[in-house]
Amino acid sequence: MAIERGDIELAGVCKSFDGLTNVVDGVNLKIADGAYCCFIGPSGCGKTTILRMIAGHEDPTAGEIVIGGQNVVGLAPVQRRTAMMFQSYALFPHLTVRENIAFALRVRGMSKIDRLRAADAMIEKVRLTSFADRLPAQLSGGQQQRVALARAAITEPRVLLLDEPLSALDEQLRVQMRQELRRMQQELGITFIHVTHTQLEAIALADLVVVMEQGRIKQAGPARDAYAHPHDRYVAEFMGGQNVLSGRVEKVNGASFVLAQAAPDGIEVPLQARAKISVGDTVDIAVRRDDVTLVRPGQTLPAGCSTSLPSRVLAIEYQGYFVKVMLDTVPDDEFVAYVPEKTFFADPLNVGDVVLATWATDRARPLA
């Protein structure tokens, strides 16, 4: 039975290399056909192992991997109709670009004329026509990556697996190749699974972002969910852009609760869907760094702001379109405000200045 669709389902997938600890620990996930999915997490979180299990380079210790409705555990990559792009690209050093791309057709026994014609068509697609007769060592990093992509795509896989594909490139090229990957994915209309440890890369590319920690999925959802609505402290800190504060619940009243903090009146947080908060609980809350407004003492707070935390400016970093202001608002945790460039330079702050950090009450979110 040939696999025709590229939808993937992982059911209770575990992987242990030593029989003691699970590198991948009971992962359940559904990826739609034709989706661009990014696995993100720190090194050693099991994301590459999941990729290699989907690719057929590792067998899961337990669980099922279903591609296009068929359990593929134990099948070779060709039978799964997956193709992998390796982190080092793994281009064959003794073969030219054309021969590298035609390799998969060669081992299938396709005639030389046919396979070189097919390879040339693919070379054109990745815009490498003038490099077709070069060896991998004579190409730049970005060109090598395009060869690796073409070589993987020539078998018309339903799923393309990319292991940190951009990590070997410099910053400018990375942004450029990022667009190219997205373009290829749309052109081919197949499922891409992309492993990365860079959150910018993940949210720029993915339809589905999967945040992992120690072999488990912490959050899986659209890029905007993972970034703007992290489930818990781990996801919030890993995806970045959030200030995480923790404290004891002082009051719960109807639609909001109040967190004890070094503020005169505590921090007021809307309850949202999380109803199981009661007085005395210790709760983490998140406030986006770009939602924080800094007000000089004595000035009136903007409308809708009920919380203001007196803080001292620890450091200031100019970032171009915004200014990153680091504050000592909460002990132990980092607290940062992203102030728009124009706002900042209308009344520039200096290190050591005392300000009030405030935000619209409805912008604070309780975390799990």
- Least gap, CB of 151 to other proteins (angstroms): 7
Cα 30 off chain centre by: 16
The three-class DSSP label of residue 257 is strand
Min CB(36)–other proteins separation in Å: 20
Name which position in 143, 155, 198, 214 contacts other proteins (CB under 8 A). Answer: 155
Size of the site for other proteins (CB under 8 A): 31
CB of 349 within 8 A of CB of 355? Answer: yes
Q: Would residue 283 be called left, alpha or beta, if left means φ above 0 and alpha means ψ between -120 and 50 degrees?
A: beta
Chain centroid to Cα 126, Å, comes to 25
Cβ closest to other proteins, residue 28 vs residue 138: 138
Number of H helices, E strands in the chain: 10, 20
In angstroms, give the least distance from the CB of 150 to other proteins. Answer: 12
38 vs 91 by CB, closer to other proteins? 91
Q: Between 107 and 146, how does the x/- string for binding to other proteins read (CB under 8 A)?
A: xx---------------------x--xxx--x--------
C-beta of 83: minimal distance to other proteins in Å? 6
Sequence-separated (6 or more) residues with CB below 8 Å from residue 111:
none
User: Between 165 and 241, whose beta carbon lies closer to other proteins?
Assistant: 165
- Our CB check for other proteins shows the closer of 15 and 151 to be 151
Smallest separation, CB 32 to other proteins (Å):
23
Element (H, E) at 117: helix 112-125
In what helix (H) or strand (E) does residue 144 lie, and over which residues does it extend? helix 141-153
The closest alpha carbon to 129, from 119, 138, 137, belongs to: 119
Shortest gap between Cβ of 78 and other proteins (angstroms)?
4
Query: In this structure, what DSSP letter does residue 276 have?
Result: -
* CA dist., res. 228 & res. 288, Å (int): 8
The Cα 355–Cα 296 span in angstroms is: 5
Nearer to other proteins, 128 or 330 (CB): 128
Here the tokens at position 46 are: 């099991």
| Choices 8-16, 150-158, 249-257, 268-276 (CB under 8 A): range interacting with other proteins | 150-158
The DSSP 8-state label assigned to residue 137 in this structure reads: G
Residue whose C-alpha is closest to residue 159's, from 133, 121, 185: 185
Select from 153, 211, 154 the least CA-distant residue to 185. 153
Minimum distance from CB of 207 to other proteins (Å)?
A: 24
Nearer to other proteins, 47 or 233 (CB): 47
Q: Considering only residues 67-96, where is the footprint of other proteins by CB under 8 A?
A: 76-78, 83-84, 86-88, 90-94, 96
> Closest approach of Cβ 79 to other proteins, in Å?
9
* CB-CB contact of 284 with 330 (8 Å): no
Binding mask of the shown chain, residues 325 to 344, with x at each position contacting other proteins by CB under 8 A: --------------------
Task: Say whether residue 17 binds other proteins (CB under 8 A).
Answer: no
Query: Minimum Å distance from CB 46 to other proteins?
Result: 18
Axis-axis angle for helices 97-107, 141-153 (nearest 10): 20
Q: Which is nearer to other proteins, 128 or 245 (CB)?
A: 128
Among 54, 55, 205, 220, binds other proteins (CB under 8 A): 55
CA 37 – CA 28 distance, rounded (Å): 14
Site for other proteins, rule CB under 8 A: 55-57, 76-78, 83-84, 86-88, 90-94, 96-97, 103-104, 106-108, 130, 133-135, 138, 151-152, 155
